[in-house]
Structure 1
Amino acid sequence: MQAESRLTFRFYLIVCTLLLVVVSALSLYIGAVKIAPQDVLSALTNYLHITDHEPGRYQSILLDIRLPRVILAIIVGAALAALAVSGAAMQGLFRNPLADPGLVGISSGAALAAVIVIVLVPSIATIPKSLNIYLIPLAAFIGSLLVTLLVHQLSQVHGKTEVSTLLLAGIAINAIAGAGTGLLTYMADDTQLRILTFWSMGSLGSANWAQLFFAAPIIITALIGIYFYAKALNAIALGEAEAGHLGYNLESIKRRLIVLVALAVGTSVALSGTIGFIGLVIPHLLRLFIGPNHSKLLPLSAILGASLLLLSDLIARTLVAPAELPIGIITTIIGGPFFLWLLLRFKRQGSII
């Protein structure tokens, strides 16, 4: 039975990886300007110094616009797959399959903190981009950390997580953060409004190599850190008392997971704005096929989350080309009906736990 489980996991791992490779390739050569596969390959081999041809006419589009955007989509999608991975971690930590970083207010808290910096920090538009790269993600991380700690505290009743309290706290925090963002939007000038439009619906349009060099180590560190707690999340799923009997220091684990989730979510929101539902859809979809084992769920969530974000970005770039739809619209169209189906499924079972 265990050998069969390993074989099933490897099969889904291969399928998800192949899907990511295919969607990445499609994202490189499909867009407002369609580039032939051989031109994509030629530009990449030139960039990696494998070949030494004259730069093609599409090389700048590929290397300066599409390639950083694809890589950013992968790492943010493996962090919005850390919204999938941290979605899985949140669901395991709170023992609630509806606990999603966007749903319980963490993403909106990160966005509000970033918007506060954009609007209230004097002359942020004149601050060098090199400083903006650090300032806004730091604010988003602090915002997501504070909201995560608040939600965790509010959802505790006699030392146990109350699902109804968790969801109600998330609704309240989303409303408060939305009101704060709306107020700051009203106060913003024209330059700040253009920046704030990015946060409202999400986009990968600002992707560049400087962002990647800053964000990739942070997000990858958070993903690896979350994965190290896979066995602890499996134990927590059995119940906090059982996890304690197995020797896990639950309060320490919770604090560390909260920091890792906030780090992943805050950095993601800082780079891409608020993109909803990926952290809800991916982990739960995978549970239907591979079960609740976080050692398998977390890596597959990262890969499939990256693929879904890449695919959503591809649709957003091409559906109304040469214009571009906000990526948050695409993920909500996918995730909204899934969330309703999830609610109906749990309603038939008589519980949302």
Structure 2
Amino acid sequence: MFKTVFLATALIAACAIPASAKPQKPSQSANRSNAVQGSTPYAQRDDAMQFADDLAERRGLDREWVRQAVGQARFLGSVPKLMLPPSKGTAKNWRVYRSRFIDPIRIRAGVRFWQEHREALARAEQEYGVPAEIIVGIIGVETIYGQQMGNFRVMDALATLAFDFPTAHPRAKERTEFFRRELEQWLSLSNRTNIDPFEVRGSYAGAMGLGQFMPSSWARFAVDFDGDSRIDLFRSPTDAIGSVANYFKGHGWTTGMPTHYSVQFDPATVKMDELLAPDILPTFSATSMQAKGALLDAAGAQHAGPLALVELENGGDAPTYVAGTENFYAITRYNWSSYYAMAVIELGREVAAARNATLASSR
């Protein structure tokens, strides 16, 4: 999370400006060398300019506009370091991770957010089938309800990761391709909506708004939920609420399905290696999971769909385990981490409990 010093004006017309509008040129403030520690400016890099040419042809964009935008992007030296996984030997710790997101400040902010936007949350739950507490959990974990939306220029962040993703990362090739697609989506969106691609700020990975949508998610799942004929994920909490709900619906959220069940183990029969082999992908029926020694609670034993044994490490202490459903897996499509998914679920529950207590005390 990052302290917000933030220019949000650029995307408020994302659905209002016709595709034929002439794109703005990148601002003059962007026209400076991006040389950092001897790096070559992107305007002088063959790979960056070839990317720009290919993108312009593929998307039917003005070639010089695309080359100028890519060429003026600045390399951000801190960003590649932030993408590297923890060093080997760093123990994961669910309790520590949880404490970063489930705290009194975030819970109080969540109660205020829910109260202020209860109608939009109720409507999103009705239209998309995604519980309000999951939407509240996402926006709270991502940005503390809009308080910390990021201070990196999205264009710079995406260009840095598209052309200088750290080679030390175990998935460097895959992630480089991902961020090149996101850069393409960002330039296409900027062109289509007639905005300066350098004006908008977000996370070090290029995510934007209250729900921290990547450009591809904005293009696919962002909705005008407040009905003002434009999409603004920065300054319209209603649009952000509807867009998060639509994202989950698009990733297979099943209305009414729990996210997970409690689980215990039969030491005499548990086949832990087999249970953990699929990772968080729901694979086992309730019957087969129990046959492998993972004993579900009463509700879990009746679950009709596939389940996954989710392991949350606790440093040197015993791990925490739950049986995750397809809805648990859907939350990990927002961020591919079981720790993240549990933080979203538990923050939403804590905010719901605090809100209910507040309402009860005011009666």
* TM-score (norm: length of structure 1): 0.25
Greater RCO (CA < 8 Å, at least 6 residues apart): 1
Pair member with larger Rg: 2
